[in-house]
Amino acid sequence: MTNSSEVVLVGGPRDGDVVEAGDPGLLEVEAGGMVHRYIPTRQTRPVGNADLPAYNYDGMVNPAGAQDGVEDAEKRMASPLAEEETP
């Protein structure tokens, strides 16, 4: 039996899973230590005897937030069109 808050996930690591969405909007699902984001669409997908709203995969984010990486934000120019300052 399905209720109106169930949706089907499309794409990503949880493709085809039926989950409770609660409020309509961005849905974040934890999988493999990362947060995977799904966004609502106007489409439906048949699951069992019901047509459930489809949420498309929107990508993965680290739950710890932004991490230091290859780019050093302090050395980045404000714009790709900006001229480099020479010392």
pLDDT given at position 59:
92
Average the pLDDT over 43-72 and give the result.
Answer: 83
Q: Say which residues have a Cβ less than 8 Å from residue 52's Cβ, sequence separation at least 6.
A: 2, 6, 7, 8, 18, 44, 45, 46
pLDDT given at position 86:
55
Strand, coil or helix: 74: helix
Percentage, residues of the chain above pLDDT 70? 69
pTM greater than 0.75: no
